Amino acid sequence: MRRKISGPGISFFAFQDIITAVVGIFILITLIMVLELLEKVDAASRTPAGDAAAVTRVIDQTRADADAIEGQLQQMRQRQQTENQAIAMSATVTEEQLLERIKEQQRRNEQLAAQIAAVERQLEDAESRYQSARLQADAATRKIEAENRRVSSQVAEFKTRTQKLAGNKTPLYNDRLRDGRALVIVRIGEHPTKATRISMREGDRETNRAFVGIKDLINAIKQRDARKSHYMVLVAPGGAKDFHTLREYFDSTHGSSLFGYHYLPTSIRYGFDVIGGDADIQLLFELGE
């Protein structure tokens, strides 16, 4: 049997103020966190980042999260307003109704706390994504700066080589042919500024060797792999006899030899030109010296 309550009705204005204050505090904290995150994202969008697309995606995702949070807060405000109106319309209630409403309000407070915790987790996740995007952008920026330094160094090197080429009057040859063979320059004959009559410049080894005679030169050539070299013989005045001996050796190598199950060519490839006493050519590796 229900007990009737005699006397004046119970006022809920103090309770309503407490609930409103608690909810307002939660809403204020959430708004402060959202505004702080939006300021961070806005500041990050103004920094020079190498990966602009990644930063844009983080900003768009953060704005979407902020919109979702704002929607949740709006729903909370509407729910609280409805509850306030319901409480205001009830001038007097029974003790059992009061206890029931207190329990219901506690459950709602727990739900509100869970929702706020979920919002905080979303904010933390958005902050983590922003930090990750910022690190990627910084790494991309450092990579671009390093590439710029490398390109600047190459440009400076090209300018130096261009200046050397502009001041070079001697014919210039690549020290390696298109098929990968090294170009070897052999000079036979007198040279006004050189004491040796026979010399050889090896493009693949970047060396310049002098020989006392044609036999010494032929012995050095025999030590090289015939498949990896092409000889360019420059015949200066006084070098005809030595060139005749060298050419006979080159022509005698035509053929192949058995190596394992394969026959490998032993022919030495060469070309020659008759030049003046002071004429010469240069290889690319000599340009850098």
Give per-residue pLDDT as tens, 16-74: 777 777 777 878 888 887 777 777 767 666 655 545 566 666 667 767 766 777 777 77
| pLDDT value at residue 211 | 92
Q: Categorize the per-residue pLDDT at 270 as very low, low, confident or very high, splitting at 50, 70 and 90.
A: confident
Cα separation, 60 vs 62, whole angstroms: 5
| pTM summary value | 0.42
| 3-class DSSP assignment, residue 235 | strand
Nearest to 15 by CA among 74, 69, 93, 73: 93
152 and 206 in a single domain? The answer is: no
CB-CB neighbours of 83 under 10 Å: 18
CA–CA separation, 234 and 278 (whole Å): 11
Q: Give the span between the Cα atoms of 221 and 145, in whole angstroms.
A: 48
Q: Is 45 helix (H, G, I), strand (E, B) or coil?
A: helix
What would the two tokens of residue 16 be? 């309503």
Domain enclosing residue 128, as ranges: 13-163
Amino acid at 73: L
Domain boundary (144, 163, 182) is at: 163
Contacts 24+ apart (CB under 8 A), 104-111: 105/19, 108/79, 108/83, 109/19, 109/22
Residue 265 has pLDDT above 70, yes or no: no
Q: In whole angstroms, what is the distance from residue 73 CA to residue 131 CA?
A: 26
| 88 and 193 together in one domain | no
User: Does residue 48 form part of some domain?
Assistant: yes
Statement to judge: residues 99 and 194 lie in one domain: no
pLDDT at 263 (0 to 100): 47
7 in any annotated domain: no
Let me know if residue 183 belongs to a domain.
yes
Residue 79 domain-assigned?
yes
Please indicate, yes or no, if residue 8 is contained in any of the structural domains. Answer: no
**Cross-strand pairs, 182:** 176, 229
| Distance between start and end Cα atoms, the chain | 114
State yes or no: pLDDT of 258 exceeds 60.
no
My answer on whether 25 and 95 are in the same domain is yes
Does residue 108 sit within a domain?
A: yes
- Best CA proximity match to 182, nearest among 268, 281, 274, 280: 268
Res 261: pLDDT: 47
Structure tokens at 174: 């690549």
**Residues 105 and 223 placed together within one structural domain of the fold:** no
Q: Are residues 224 and 196 in the same domain?
A: yes
Q: Do 216 and 148 share a structural domain?
A: no
Q: According to DSSP H, which parts of the chain are helical?
A: 13-45, 52-89, 95-166, 214-222, 240-252, 284-287
Out of 34-48, 82-96, 99-113, 214-228, least confident range: 82-96
178/157 same-domain check: no
100 pLDDT exceeds 60?
yes
* Domain end position, chosen among 163, 187, 218: 163
Whether residues 159 and 192 fall in one domain: no
Residue 5 lies in a domain: no
The reply to whether 259 falls in a domain is yes
The residue out of 131, 163, 195 marking a domain boundary is 163
Q: Which two tokens stand for residue 181?
A: 């063979």
My answer on whether 148 and 238 are in the same domain is no
Residue predicted with more confidence, 193 or 141: 141
Residue 122 reports pLDDT greater than 50: yes
pLDDT reported for residue 243 = 92
CA distances from 213 to 199, 202, 250 (A): 10, 18, 16
What is the total count of domains within the chain?
Answer: 2
Count of other CB atoms within 10 angstroms of residue 200: 20
- Written as six digits, the tokens of 80 are 């609280």
Q: Token digits for 88?
A: 């205001």
Note the pLDDT of residue 216: 92
User: At residue 244, does pLDDT exceed 90?
Assistant: yes
Read off the tokens for 76.
Answer: 């909370």
